[in-house]
């Protein structure tokens, strides 16, 4: 009974995340992007990445302050699993659904280079198995530099059309499974009582969306712990696969939506930018808070599978970059290849029990 109940909670949380992202988060994000006059790539790698990466940040915070070893493993596992999911599944699904993605080479090179730098930061911090306050703050400073880089190093090829001018009303109608409209309508009506119109109250809607992502991520991680115990699989393995996919649902929905709008660059920037946020803020911010509040000399972290993790993160990024460099885009066939690579990653993780 606990297994079925926890699985139901996981599915319900993902459904609410999907509806909230589609009907509230994306409209508020488009309005904020338009008001700030951000390009597609900058909006995707900053605002969208910060908002849709809130689940990973919430789980990492909970991992440190809950005091449980299982939760600590789940926090790190979710960050790594989500990073692999973002690179392979988000970009792969976006390419398959949109029939291919057109990107701006300059923006992709800039964002992927900085993401590789963030992986280097992860390796540096985890090398001795000990995180100091200076190392934690270094991650936050690194993300601040990344935002400055996005503003200063603008893409010379970018379109002059603001992101919001591409219009959500022009998106293709999504396929609905039976009963989806009723479920979606119930969730929308309920949320609108709190938020109002996403276009008129865009800042409030954006804040509420992030709060809901945090709350739902708590439900997701607790349900995952119960589910993993019920089926006899280590929590960290479930975190690398099921939980990582669940918490990345906002990223996936957001990227597929903008890919359908013809904004392939924003979809890729969201995936890469979310990973950069996860590594530089999703880990560094909880470390900074814990070290400052508890006045600790440092935080011990596991390094058993460090180099496997680094290899997987770097390898998947280089594969994506290689595809994007060909004909300045990602074809539908290449999207399928990325999805097959993710399937291989999941099968390897489950078969070996390796907590990457």
Q: What is the pLDDT of residue 319?
A: 93
Both tokens assigned to 268: 């890729």
CATH number given to 2-352 = 1.20.1420.30
Q: What is the pLDDT of residue 181?
A: 78
241 vs 187, higher pLDDT:
187
**Separation of alpha carbons 74 and 72, rounded Å:** 5
Domain positions in the chain are: 2-352
Q: What is the pLDDT of residue 142?
A: 93
Most confident of 8-17, 46-55, 240-249: 8-17
Which is nearest to 118 in space by CA: 321, 345, 284? 284
Question: Rounded mean pLDDT of 295-303?
Answer: 68
pLDDT band at 302 (very low <50, low <70, confident <90, very high): low
Q: What is the pLDDT of residue 26?
A: 74
Most confident of 55-69, 101-115, 299-313: 101-115
290 vs 355, higher pLDDT:
290
Q: In the predicted model, is pLDDT for residue 178 greater than 80?
A: no
pLDDT band at 70 (very low <50, low <70, confident <90, very high): very low
Q: What is the pLDDT of residue 173?
A: 46
pLDDT band at 35 (very low <50, low <70, confident <90, very high): confident
* Concatenated DSSP letters of 144-157: HHHHHHHHHS--TT
Cβ–Cβ under 8 Å, residues 265 and 281: no
Percent of the chain with pLDDT over 70: 80
β-partners of residue 131 are 299
**Separation of alpha carbons 207 and 195, rounded Å:** 9
Q: What is the pLDDT of residue 49?
A: 65
Q: In the predicted model, is pLDDT for residue 166 greater than 70?
A: no
275 vs 224, higher pLDDT:
275
Most confident of 9-13, 40-44, 155-159, 319-323: 319-323
Helix ranges restricted to H, the chain: 2-20, 26-36, 40-43, 49-52, 54-66, 69-85, 91-98, 105-126, 133-152, 180-195, 202-231, 235-238, 244-247, 249-260, 264-277, 284-294, 306-325, 332-352
Q: What is the pLDDT of residue 290?
A: 79
pLDDT digits (tens, 9 = 90+) for 106-145: 878 888 999 999 999 988 887 877 888 899 899 999 998 9
| Cβ neighbours for 160, distance < 8 A, ≥ 6 positions apart | none
pLDDT digits (tens, 9 = 90+) for 42-66: 666 667 666 667 777 777 776 666 5
């Amino acid at each position: 009974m606990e297994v079925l109940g926890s699985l139901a909670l996981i599915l319900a949380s993902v459904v609410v995340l999907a509806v909230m992202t589609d009907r509230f988060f994306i409209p508020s994000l488009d309005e904020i992007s338009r008001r700030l006059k951000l390009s597609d790539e900058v909006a995707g790698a900053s605002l969208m990445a910060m908002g849709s990466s809130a689940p990973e940040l919430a789980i990492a915070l909970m991992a440190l302050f809950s005091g449980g070893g299982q939760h600590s493993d789940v926090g790190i596992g979710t960050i790594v699993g989500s990073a692999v999911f973002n690179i392979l599944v988000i970009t792969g699904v976006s390419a398959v659904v949109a029939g291919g993605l057109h990107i701006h080479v300059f923006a992709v090179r800039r964002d992927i280079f900085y993401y590789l730098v963030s992986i280097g930061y992860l390796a540096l911090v985890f090398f001795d198995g000990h995180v100091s306050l200076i190392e934690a703050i270094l991650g936050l400073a690194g993300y601040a530099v990344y935002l400055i880089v996005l503003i200063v190093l603008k893409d010379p090829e970018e379109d002059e059309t603001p992101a919001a001018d591409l219009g959500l009303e022009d998106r293709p109608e999504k396929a609905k499974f039976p009963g989806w409209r009723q479920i979606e309508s119930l969730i929308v009506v309920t949320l609108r009582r709190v938020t109002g119109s996403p276009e008129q109250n865009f800042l409030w809607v954006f804040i509420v969306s992030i709060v809901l992502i945090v709350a739902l991520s708590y439900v997701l991680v607790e349900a995952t712990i119960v589910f993993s115990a019920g089926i006899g699989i280590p929590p960290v393995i479930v975190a690398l696969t099921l939980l990582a996919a669940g918490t990345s649902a906002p990223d996936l929905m957001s990227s597929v939506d903008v890919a359908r709008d013809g904004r392939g660059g924003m979809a890729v920037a969201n995936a890469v930018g979310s990973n950069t946020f996860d590594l530089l803020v999703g880990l560094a911010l909880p470390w900074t808070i814990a070290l400052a509040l508890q006045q600790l000399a440092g935080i011990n972290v596991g390094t058993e599978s460090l180099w496997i993790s680094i290899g997987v993160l770097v390898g998947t990024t280089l594969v994506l970059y290689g595809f994007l460099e060909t004909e300045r885009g990602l074809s539908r066939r290449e999207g399928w290849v990325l999805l097959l690579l993710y399937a291989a990653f999941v099968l390897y993780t489950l078969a070996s029990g390796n907590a990457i």
